[in-house]
Structure 1
Amino acid sequence: MIVDLPDTTVSQVARSLVKVREEGGAVALGRVLTLVIATSHGLEEEAIDAANDASREHPMRVIVVMTNPEGEARLDAQIRVGGDAGASEVIVLQAHGDAASNPDSLITGLLLPDAPVVAWWPDHPPAVPAESGIGRIAQRRITDASTRPFAADRLSTLARTYAPGDTDLAWTRLTHWREQLAAVLDQPPYEPVTAVEVVGSSSSPSTALLAAWLRLKLEIPVTWRYASPEEWDHGIRSVRLTRSSGDIVLERANDIDAHLSQPRQPGHDIVLPRRTLRECLAEELRRLDPDVLYGRVITQGWELLGPAVTGVTRG
């Protein structure tokens, strides 16, 4: 069910939500959190689709906020419940003019009572997420360094502005890579790693984050570089771990598979699919406490990591 509320107020939206829930038989019981999505017009549907999919694991209220400082003061809203909202209830707010000047005031009256708040900026996050109006309300704050703006110093900015509760989907996309590399190093021979090389696309901030994680965990210098677009055009390409017995190489072959080669062992293909937006969002919603490891990687690991060997600006 979709209900449009043109030129409305927050209080009218709240009353309409109760009415829609009562008439449609939908209930708020079991909603475990409120997810606030601050995004740009035209990009909201992809974020809503991801949230709807993730809501099957995390029933929640989703509030989508889009602001346009131009024009007359006006608030348009839309409520989605039932089949149009997965296991969540979705409130879409489009604020114009003066009504867009204080987006946190738009959502305060729509939050689930006594439930955690997670803020997600799919694009164009605030300069300091934890100090923004919406960020101050939230226990967790999710950004995505792979989306607009495509700033060369994006990771340096994340490191400089980090506060407990911050996380980034460029980090979440590394989960399977970190699992595979940790599993390899947990197998004999238990030799120290003496050198590391990480290669990935220049459009992938996950490349630098993986290098920073390895630098932090292995406590050795890590070489990382951006591949040319002809060599590799998106995501992480490969990781090489050097030990006295030889090199361990985990190299992606395509969007689904990777090849693992180790000394004195036959090489084999493993499933290493690229993670969807829904998978990354669902993972981040599983925890509402600060991600301590991410905090250490984006601050300590990033500080220890040297620049990319190609001379491309870090970030």
Structure 2
Amino acid sequence: MIVELPDTNTTAISKELIKVRDSGGAFTSGRVLTLLVCTNEGEPTEAAIEAANEASREHPCRVIVVARADRSGPSRLDAEIRVGGDAGASEVVVLHLFGDLVDHGKSVVIPFMLPDTPVVTWWPGHAPANPAADPIGQLGKRRITDSTKATDVAATLAQSLATYAPGDSDIAWSRITVWRALLTSALDQPPHSPITEVEVQGPADTAAVELLAGWLHSALGVPVTRSVGSFQVTASRDSGPLVLCVGMGNQAIISIPGKPDGKVALPDRELRSCLAEELRRLDPDETYHLALQGISGLTRAEDKIHS
């Protein structure tokens, strides 16, 4: 069910929420958090709502969408309340801000936040330069950005490191959770000879690959080279290299000297799965911070050629 409230105010929206709840359309007692979704004009707001709805089946929440629209006209607030089949296991309040109201999103969302529940802020599109200092970001115990579609990945990740605050995270980081688990498991298997260096190969300007390489550099404390090509991680050691790559049918292939190749089905992670993973933990992700720090210490393949 979708209730539309054009040219409205926060008081009218609050009254309608109570009416919907009293009629049995929504129940706030089971909500475990408030998810604030911030989008700008032209960004895929509906896709973000769909992902939040799916993630809410694991984490029942109230989703408040701050959709910044045209700021050139008069100030206006249009709203939608979505419950039932249009809201997954959540209840969704969509706030379309126009005019000067675009710059006052924090004041607009506060009346709809659930009391005594943690708050997570998510920017599925363009994020502020400093999420922790952003007015809506300040409301969140956890702040999730998404660098997967950044036009300048290097600058975006460098900015994320410069402004990092406990609670910051990135959808690009959760996209490689399975890769990190596979590598950790493979490195725990014999032979246990030390890793001497690592090469991480993958498409250029890909945030997930950059974070994976940075994580390996920080975690292993060895030289890590970032090169461009199809995805492959090669960990060199005296007993022979450990190689993780992608084979036919989107399978992960793990090669260890003296053992048959291991194959693991590896479907692409959808946005809803990554978001659900991010919502599972509300404490600071220190490993993500280490991955950001490790990026600056990477050796670029082109640098080795010219040296």
- Give me the TM-score of the superposition, normalised by structure 1: 0.92
Q: Deviations over 1:169-221 (max 9, x none)?
A: 11111111111011111111111011100011114111111111111111101
SS in 2 for 1:102: helix
- 1:102 matched to 2:94? The reply is no
Task: Please state whether the residue corresponding to 2:94 is helix, strand or coil.
Answer: strand
- Give the direction of change, closer, same or farther, for the CA distance of 1:148–1:79 in structure 2 (3 Å limit): farther
Paired residues for 1:121-160 under 5 Å: 121-160=123-162
Quote the residue 1:57 is aligned against: 58
1:259/1:151 CA distance change after superposition, 3 Å? closer
Matched residues in 2 for 1:44 and 1:255: separation? Answer: 32
Do 2:31 and 2:61's aligned partners in 1 also have CA atoms closer than 8 Å? Answer: yes
2:4 aligned residue: 4
Superposition map of 1:33-48 within 5 A:
33-41=33-41, 42-48=43-49
* Aligned partner letter, 1:51: A
What SS does the aligned partner of 1:310 have? helix
Partner residue, 1:191: 193
Question: Match for 1:306: what amino acid?
Answer: L
Instruction: Give the fraction of aligned pairs with identical amino acids, expressed as a percent.
Output: 49
1:306 aligned residue (293, 298, 301): 298
From 212, 215, 228, give the equivalent of 1:213: 215
1:101-120 per-position Cα deviation (integer Å, ceiling 9, x unaligned): 21111111110011111000
> Are the counterparts in 1 of residues 153 and 206 from structure 2 also a CA contact under 8 Å?
no
Deviation at 1:256, TM superposition (A): 3.1
Work out the CA distance in 2 between the residues paired with 1:214 and 1:141: 24
SS at match of 1:188: coil
Residue number among 290, 296, 301 corresponding to 2:284 in the alignment:
290
Q: Does 1:244 align with 2:238?
A: yes
> What's the CA shift for 1:268?
3.0
Structure 2 CA distance for aligned equivalents of residues 148 and 75 of structure 1: 29
Which SS does the other structure have where 1:153 is aligned?
A: helix
Give the SS at the match of 1:70.
Answer: coil
CA contact (8 A) 1:33 1:118 kept: yes
8 A Cα contact 1:124 1:149, kept in partner: no
Alignment check: 8 A CA contact 2:242 2:256 kept: yes
**Which of 136, 146, 169 is the matching residue for 1:167?**
169
CA distance in 1, matches of 2:146, 2:61: 21
Q: How far is the alpha carbon of 1:83 from its aligned partner?
A: 0.9
1:205/1:255 CA distance change after superposition, 3 Å: farther
CA distance in 1, matches of 2:96, 2:249: 36
In the TM superposition, residue 251 of structure 1 has moved relative to its aligned partner by 0.4
Separation of aligned partners in 2, 1:255 and 1:75: 48
Task: Give the Å deviation of 1:150.
Answer: 4.1
The residue that corresponds to 1:267 in the other structure is 261
- Kept after mapping to 2: 8 A contact 1:242/1:248: yes
SS of the counterpart of 1:109?
helix
Offset of 1:151 from its aligned partner? Answer: 4.8
Asked if the contact 1:146/1:203 (under 8 Å) is kept, the reply is no
Q: Deviations over 1:80-117 (max 9, x none)?
A: 00111000000111110011121111111110011111
2:19 alignment partner in structure 1: 19
The answer to whether the Cα contact below 8 Å between 2:216 and 2:291 also exists between their aligned partners in 1 is no
TM-score of the superposition, structure 2-length normalised? 0.94
Could you say which residue in structure 2 is the equivalent of 1:77? 79
Tell me whether 1:280 sits opposite 2:282 in the alignment.
Answer: no
The Cα of 1:60 is off from its aligned counterpart by 0.1
Q: What amino acid does structure 2 have at the position aligned with 1:120?
A: W
- Cα distance in 2 between the residues matched to 1:148 and 1:73: 30
Q: 2:53 corresponds to which letter in structure 1?
A: N
**Residues 148 and 184 (structure 1), Cα distance of their counterparts in 2 relative to 1, 3 Å cut:** closer
Residues 1:255 and 1:152: Cα distance change in structure 2 (over 3 Å): farther
Gaps of 5+ in 2: none
Deviation at 1:145, TM superposition (A): 0.7
Partner of 2:68: 67
Measured at CA, do residues 8 and 122 of structure 1 come closer, stay the same or move farther in structure 2, by a change above 3 Å? same
